[in-house]
């Protein structure tokens, strides 16, 4: 029996992970499931999978969770400390699928006890890539990528040496607005930004796909995870989302990974690694697909990609600033306080103001320092929004 935990179990990645585990439930012993406000779903899944503990991130929800779990053997818990305690429970495999920087601390805790961490939470690599990688190394733990592009790169690298890699190309669908005229983007509504042409994902990553902030995070994720130089990483717009990534080697060969846009592919690869097992995903029929389209990203349309380059060049804790400013700008867009294009403007302003403070940006990469600068960047984003909206 494999002991598994899922952080962010009620979300899009979490539910896809549960789907795979449910199909083969006898092989797994579920330790912890975590969620947020969706307590009913969390309790239902925890009961069905006979989890040891179910944790909601929000303490105010604990009574509701307790009530929903009454009469079962599942423990109910709530809050940040409870999440960390659950991440410390021995498990062979832990899915990190909380959205945002909140996934960092539980991910580190999971690595500290030597678990294999299946990492969907790209934000933690962007905020503290080196810290995560060093923690994994120090504790003999392993990180397996779950982002579809990074899983694709990881698979293309099986049996290869990273020193022979010339470039890594990650594809982007271009999001909801890839064919919109530039002038229309600022007036894009929340509903328009919340629907993705190919993937069915959580709301935040869907909006980040429309703005390309998601791809910007993924470029930094590629840099942190595979340790390749920023100039070796390319983004290619591929509207069909069938080719997830390509790896170019020094002899000019390009190895690519193709598959239907279904996250159970990447989740299942990380779950069964290093084996491959049957997965319930659609098989691609390329004759029916007929053509694959590619184009270069339009840099005027996607300022987030330029910001990612600046963050990688600056180094230090600028990734944490970038992510936190982006998360906060996204909160303000969702709340209707700023327009779609303002998210990039605000993020850029926050980066400029905090990068001017070397004592902050160049502080050691510890959880404490990352948390501190994350807070400061969120405050700076709030101030920038206030200034803008009066
Ligand atoms: P989602 O919004 O559907 O789910 C997020 C989960 O995190 C939920 O369980 C929620 O309760 C929990 N959560 C939210 N805020 C929290 C907090 N402050 N503390 C603790 N828990 C909290 O998100 P998602 O689309 O499943 O994405 C999860 C992660 O996976 C993100 O990092 C995202 O970038 C990444 N990812 C998602 C996809 C996808 O297809 N959805 C693909 C690649 C990568
Ligand atoms: Mg991705």
Q: Tens of pLDDT along 50-67?
A: 999 999 999 999 999 999
| Nearest protein Cα to ligand 1, atom 9 | 8
Percent of the chain with pLDDT over 70: 100
Is residue 32 predicted with pLDDT exceeding 90?
yes
pLDDT score of 299: 84
Ligand nearest the Cα of residue 45 is 1
Q: How far is the CA of 368 from the centre of ligand 2 (A)?
A: 28
The residue ranking higher by pLDDT, 232 or 182, is 232
- pTM for the full predicted model: 0.98
Kindly give the distance from the C-alpha atom of residue 158 to the centroid of ligand 2, in angstroms, as a whole number.
19
Q: Of 352, 329, 326, which is closest to residue 339 (Cα–Cα)?
A: 329
Ligand nearest to the CA of 105: 1
- The residues near 216 (Cβ < 8 Å, ≥ 6 apart) are 302, 304, 305, 307, 308, 322
User: 321 and 354 in contact (C-beta within 8 Å)?
Assistant: yes
Query: Cβ < 6 Å from ligand 1: which residues?
Result: 8-14, 35-36, 57, 97-100, 102, 120-123, 147, 199, 201-202, 204-205, 263
> Whose Cα sits closest to atom 36 in ligand 1?
120
Mean pLDDT across the chain, nearest whole number? 97
How far is Cα 183 from Cα 338, in angstroms, rounded to an integer? 16
If you search the block for the tokens 């053997």, which residue do you land on? 73
Cβ < 5 A residues, ion ligand 2: 147-149
103 vs 123: CA distance, rounded Å: 8
What separation in Å is there between the alpha carbon of 215 and the centre of ligand 1? 16
For ligand 1, atom 4, name the residue with the nearest CA.
11
pLDDT band for position 175 (cuts 50, 70, 90): confident
Ligand found nearest the CA of 59: 1
Q: How many whole angstroms from 252 Cα to the centroid of ligand 1? A: 37
Task: Kindly give, in sequence order, each residue whose CB lies less than 8 Å from that of residue 134, ignoring residues fewer than 6 positions away.
Answer: none
**pLDDT tens digits along 300-357:** 889 999 999 999 999 999 999 999 999 999 999 999 999 999 999 999 999 999 999 9
Q: State mean pLDDT over 165-174.
A: 96
- Check residue 110 and give its pLDDT: 98
pLDDT one-digit tens code per residue, 96-128: 999 999 999 999 999 999 999 999 999 999 999
Burial class (CB in 10 A: 0-12, 13-18, 19+), 140: exposed
Give the whole-angstrom CA distance, residue 236 versus residue 247.
12
Tell me how far the alpha carbon of residue 69 lies from the centroid of ligand 2, in angstroms. 34
Judged against a pLDDT cut of 90, whether residue 176 lies above it is answered with no
Name the DSSP letter for residue 249.
Answer: E
**Which bound ligand lies closest to the C-alpha atom of 119?**
1
Question: Which distant-in-sequence residues (6+ apart) come within 8 Å of 161 by Cβ?
Answer: none
Kindly give the number of the ligand 1 atom that is closest to the alpha carbon of 214.
34
Pocket test for ligand 1, best of 11, 39, 208, 260 (most atoms within 8 A of CB): 11
For position 345, what pLDDT does the model report? 97
Average pLDDT of the segment spanning 179-184:
90
For ligand 1, what atom is nearest to the CA of residue 10?
Answer: 9
């Amino acid at each position: 029996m494999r002991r598994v935990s899922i952080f962010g179990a009620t979300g899009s990645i979490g539910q896809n992970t549960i789907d795979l585990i449910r199909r083969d439930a006898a092989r797994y012993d579920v330790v912890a499931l975590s969620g947020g406000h969706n307590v009913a779903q969390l309790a239902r899944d925890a009961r069905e999978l006979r989890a040891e503990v179910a944790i909601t991130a929000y303490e105010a929800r604990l009574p509701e969770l307790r009530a929903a779990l009454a009469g079962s053997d599942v423990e109910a818990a709530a809050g940040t400390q409870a999440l960390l305690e659950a991440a410390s429970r021995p498990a062979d495999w832990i899915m990190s699928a909380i959205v945002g920087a909140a996934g960092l601390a539980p991910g580190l805790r999971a690595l500290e006890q030597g678990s294999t961490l299946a990492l969907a939470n790209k934000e933690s690599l962007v905020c503290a890539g080196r810290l995560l990688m060093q923690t994994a190394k120090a504790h003999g733990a392993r990180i397996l990528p779950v982002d579809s592009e990074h899983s694709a790169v990881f698979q293309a690298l099986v049996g290869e040496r990273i020193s022979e890699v010339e470039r890594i190309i990650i594809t982007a669908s271009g999001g909801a607005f890839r064919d919109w005229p530039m002038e229309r983007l600022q007036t894009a509504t929340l509903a328009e930004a919340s629907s993705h042409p190919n993937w069915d994902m959580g709301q935040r990553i869907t909006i980040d796909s429309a703005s390309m902030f998601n791809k910007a995070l993924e470029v930094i994720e590629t840099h942190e995870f595979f340790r390749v130089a920023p100039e070796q990483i390319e983004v290619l717009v591929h509207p069909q989302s069938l080719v997830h990534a390509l790896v170019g080697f020094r002899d000019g060969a390009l190895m690519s990974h193709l598959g239907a846009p279904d996250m159970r592919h990447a989740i299942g690869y990380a779950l069964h690694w290093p084996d491959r097992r049957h997965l319930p995903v659609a098989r691609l029929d390329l004759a029916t697909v007929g053509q694959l389209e590619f184009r270069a990203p339009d840099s005027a349309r996607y300022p987030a990609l330029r910001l990612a380059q600046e963050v990688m060049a600056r180094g230090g804790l600028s990734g944490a600033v970038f992510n936190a400013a982006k998360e906060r700008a996204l909160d303000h867009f969702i709340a209707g306080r700023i327009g779609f294009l303002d998210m990039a403007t605000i993020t850029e302003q926050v980066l400029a103001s905090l990068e001017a403070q070397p004592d902050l940006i160049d502080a050691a990469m510890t959880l404490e320092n990352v948390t501190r600068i994350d807070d400061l960047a969120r405050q700076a984003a709030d101030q920038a929004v206030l200034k803008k909206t009066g």
